[in-house]
Amino acid sequence: MCTSPCVCIFSTCNCVVLSQHKVLMGMPYGSIPRKTVPRAEEEKAMDFSVLWDFEGYIKYSALFYGYYNNQRTIGWLRYRLPMAYFMVGVSVFSYSLMIIIRSMAGNTQGSTNDGESDNFTFSFKMFTSWDYLIGNSETADNKYASITISFKESIVDEQESNKEENVHLTRFLRVLANFLIICCLCGSGYLIYFVVKRSQEFSKMQNVSWYERNEVEIVMSLLGMFCPPLFETIAALENYHPRIGLKWQLGRIFALFLGNLYTFLLALMDDVHLKLSNEETIKNITHWTLFHYYNSSGWNESVPRPPLRPADVPRGSCWETAVGIEFMRLIVSDMLVTCITILLGDFLRACFVRFMNYCWCWDLEAGFPSYAEFDISGNVLGLIFNQGMIWMGSFYAPGLVGINVLRLLTSMYFQCWAVMSSNVPHERVFKASRSNNFYMGLLLLVLFLSLLPVAYTVMSLPPSFDCGPFSGKNRMYDVIQETVENDFPTFLGKIFAFLANPGLIIPAILLMFLAIYYLNSVSKSLSRANAQLRKKIQALREVEKSHKSFKGRATARDSEDTAKGNSKNATQLTKEGKFYFMMITFTRSRGKV
């Protein structure tokens, strides 16, 4: 019996976890070769340097693709692990697409920018921004800060719209800036391709240093750290509006990250093809080893088979796990570089400015180097690309999602501390975008670009023969056909085969594109009609204003004419009165005489 409720709960949870692992995950660790560390790696499998590189016991754990078994049904629940693995990968992209589209639609419906007018901007903000239903002092302070920021944004827009510039000089500087940035992008792409190619040479060596093992991740992280400030320095030549300059800056950083990532993937695909070409030889060696093992003695109790442990079976390269390890290293190196950047670039800089300002020749807080500004847009873009790497890498490393959650939690608290202690807001406050869907559009584009490499590997590359849930199949998507043939009735299989016919899929895709084109045309026509109605309303307002002003001038003119007529009548009456008074006086004087 259990001596305490805690022990009972712990034992129950342990039994549940073990039973679920046996029912859902199949055979335990060490039972088959794909779940066992090879004999040559056992000696150093628990070294910190090996585990830090996601090798050793971590490589053959449930964090990566190669751990999972290709058994079609597992346990008494007949859990279909290969099909579940494939459907979860598809569902992640489908659910993410649905959430992004829904968020963009909600932002579009809730946006009021189309109804805004450029007339009387400051008057409208002054007299209509306050919410008179606020009854909380904290809410009032937040509303006051929001109104202040909106005024600053409008002031910057007004200043930029009235700024005069030399057109020819501006064009020359912008062309020069774009040329320099294109050179930086091409150089970074070539550097990453060169480093990845050199890492393939290092992988063939026995004694490799820590830097040589992690050179690719270090170079990519350093490029992501130093290139954006370089782009910002070059962008100062262009003299754009802050909002337009921010979009150009984000677009260039987007191109940098995307180019680096796709260059890394292309070089990685070369390594994958090399491993696939060598896999056939290893496959023959493995099959012959197992053939001699199972045919060396009879299947009876008196003559036992010679011992052959899973650790002694020759292994393939398992390129899926290798790809997952590379994404794991990218995430970890990105987290470390972010922390180092905050400590060196923000915290130490803030300490120097704060404590050396009293004994320096100039004001360090107001001049150089001053406190670091918190880059909101850059951090949001970093989150978007981090999510893109998770979308790509989670298919090959299911444990990448958990690692990323820990990374986001630590990064959130670390950056919150940095913001409160070392950063200041931007000196020029401006509205980053007139639309609420700018960053969501970037996230949608990253989702699409993240789907392409995964779809290519699923549809075109053969899976490894001795690791992962799709081993033994020609392509990964063959698991769908296998499930339909074995687990569904015959008529459903015919229906799926009919729906998968290219003669039906291509017209459906064309119909979808036509529907999208039609709805887009309707949306544009409604937007134009809305703009025309807004212009008509503005014209009517101007006509009413002119009519009222004309009417006011006519009324004033009539009142002036009336006043002049009254004054003339009064003058005439005065003259007549004087004449009558003189006549009466003259008559009285004659009567007395």
Per-residue pLDDT tens for 70-94? 888 877 778 888 888 899 989 999 9
Backbone angles phi, psi at 375, to 5 degrees: -85, 95
Task: Give the model's confidence band at 330: pLDDT under 50 very low, under 70 low, under 90 confident, else very high.
Answer: confident
pLDDT for 29: 64
pLDDT per position as a tens digit, 569-588: 555 545 555 555 555 555 55
Pinpoint the alpha helices (H) of 426-501: 438-460, 478-487, 490-499
pLDDT at 15: 37
Distance between CA atoms of residues 181 and 187, nearest Å: 10
Q: What is the pLDDT of residue 95?
A: 92
Please say if the pLDDT value at position 18 is more than 80.
no
Output the pLDDT for position 14. Answer: 34
Instruction: Say if CB 30 and CB 36 are below 8 A apart.
Output: yes
Which tens digit of pLDDT belongs to each residue from 247-300? 788 888 888 888 878 877 887 887 788 877 777 666 665 555 555 555 555 455
What are the tens digits of pLDDT across the range 366-375? 777 777 777 7
pLDDT in tens, 431-443: 555 556 778 888 8
Instruction: Report the C-alpha gap between 187 and 226 in whole angstroms.
Output: 13
**Per-residue H/E/C for 2-42:** CCCHHHHHHHHHHHHHHHHHHHHHCCCCCCCHHHCCCHHHC
Does 4 have pLDDT greater than 50? no
What pLDDT, on a 0 to 100 scale, did the predictor assign at position 8?
40
User: Averaged over 546-566, what is the pLDDT?
Assistant: 68
Per-residue pLDDT reduced to its tens digit, 59-72: 888 888 888 888 88
The mean pLDDT value for 206-210 works out to 72
Single-letter amino acid code for the residue at 236: A
Decide if pLDDT at 99 tops 80: yes
pTM, 2 dp: 0.74
Predicted pLDDT at 285: 59
Which stretch of DSSP H or E encloses residue 248? helix 242-294
Mean pLDDT of the chain: 75
Ranking 190-204, 279-293, 476-490 by mean pLDDT, the lowest is 279-293
Question: Is pLDDT of 318 > 70?
Answer: yes
Count CA within 13 A, CB hemisphere, residue 420: 6
Q: What percent of the chain has pLDDT over 70?
A: 73
What is the per-residue pLDDT across 119-176, written as a single tens digit (0 to 9) for each? 566 677 776 777 766 777 777 777 777 777 777 766 766 666 666 666 778 888 888 8
Number of DSSP helices (H) and strands (E) in the chain, helices first? 17, 2
pLDDT over 60 (residue 430): no
144-180 burial, b for 16+ CB within 10 Å, e for fewer? eeeeeeebebbebbeebeeeeeeeeeeeebbeebbeb
Assigned token pair, 52: 């830090």
